[in-house]
Structure 1
Amino acid sequence: MYKIVTAEKFLWEGINLEGKVVLEGGTSWGNTTRLIAKKVVENSWNTELISVDIDDSHFDEIEEDMREAFTKLTLRKGDLGDLYFVPSDSIDVIICNYTLSSVEQFPLRVVKALKELHRVLKKGGKLLITEEMPIWSVDTSDYPYWSKRLRIIKSISVLKAMTVFSEIHPNDLQEVLKLLDFKDIHWKEFQEKINAEMAVKFLDKRKQTLIKGANDLENKHLTDGFVELTENLVKEFEKTKEFLAPAYILKAIK
Structure 2
Amino acid sequence: MYKITTAEKFLWDGLTLDNKLVLEGGTSWGNTTDIIAQKTAEHGWKTRLISVDVDDSHFSEIEKRLGTSFVELNLRKADLGNLDFINENTIDVVICNYTLSSVNQFPFRGVKALKEFYRVLKPGGKLLITEEMPIWSVDSKDYEYWSKRLRIIKSISVLKAMAHFNEIHPQDLEEVMITLGFKNINRREFKEVIDAEMATKFLDKRKQTLIKGQDDLQNQQVTKGFVELTEKLVKEFENAKEFSAPAYIIKAEK
Q: Extract structure 1 runs of 4+ deviating beyond 4 A.
A: none
Report the counterpart of residue 176 of structure 2 in structure 1.
176
- C-alpha distance in 2, partners of 1:106/1:127? 22
Report the counterpart of residue 142 of structure 1 in structure 2.
142
Tell me, yes or no, if the aligned pair for 2:157 and 2:164 is still in contact at 8 Å: yes
Structure 1 residues 166-196: Cα deviation after superposition (integer angstroms, max 9, x where no partner) = 0000000000001101001121001111111
Report the counterpart of residue 161 of structure 1 in structure 2.
161
Report the counterpart of residue 54 of structure 2 in structure 1.
54
Report the counterpart of residue 127 of structure 1 in structure 2.
127
Unaligned runs of 5+ in 2: none
Identity %: 70
TM-score by length of 1: 0.98
Report the counterpart of residue 95 of structure 1 in structure 2.
95
Report the counterpart of residue 63 of structure 2 in structure 1.
63
AA aligned opposite 2:109: R
Unaligned runs of 5+ in 1: none
- C-alpha distance in 2, partners of 1:71/1:151? 42
Other structure's SS at 1:65 match: helix
Task: Give the superposition deviation at 1:68.
Answer: 4.1
Report the counterpart of residue 208 of structure 2 in structure 1.
208
Task: Give the superposition deviation at 1:3.
Answer: 2.0
Other structure's SS at 2:85 match: coil
RMSD: 0.9
- C-alpha distance in 2, partners of 1:132/1:51? 21
Task: Give the superposition deviation at 1:72.
Answer: 2.1
Task: Give the superposition deviation at 1:61.
Answer: 1.2
AA aligned opposite 1:29: W
Tell me, yes or no, if the aligned pair for 2:48 and 2:70 is still in contact at 8 Å: no
- C-alpha distance in 1, partners of 2:9/2:252? 16
Other structure's SS at 2:184 match: strand
Structure 1 residues 68-113: Cα deviation after superposition (integer angstroms, max 9, x where no partner) = 4445211000111110111110000000001110111001111111
Other structure's SS at 2:246 match: strand
Task: Give the superposition deviation at 1:67.
Answer: 2.9
- C-alpha distance in 1, partners of 2:38/2:72? 12
- C-alpha distance in 1, partners of 2:172/2:190? 17
- C-alpha distance in 1, partners of 2:212/2:92? 44
Range 207-216 or range 1-10, more displaced: 1-10
Query: Aligned residue pairs: how many?
Result: 254
- C-alpha distance in 1, partners of 2:166/2:88? 28
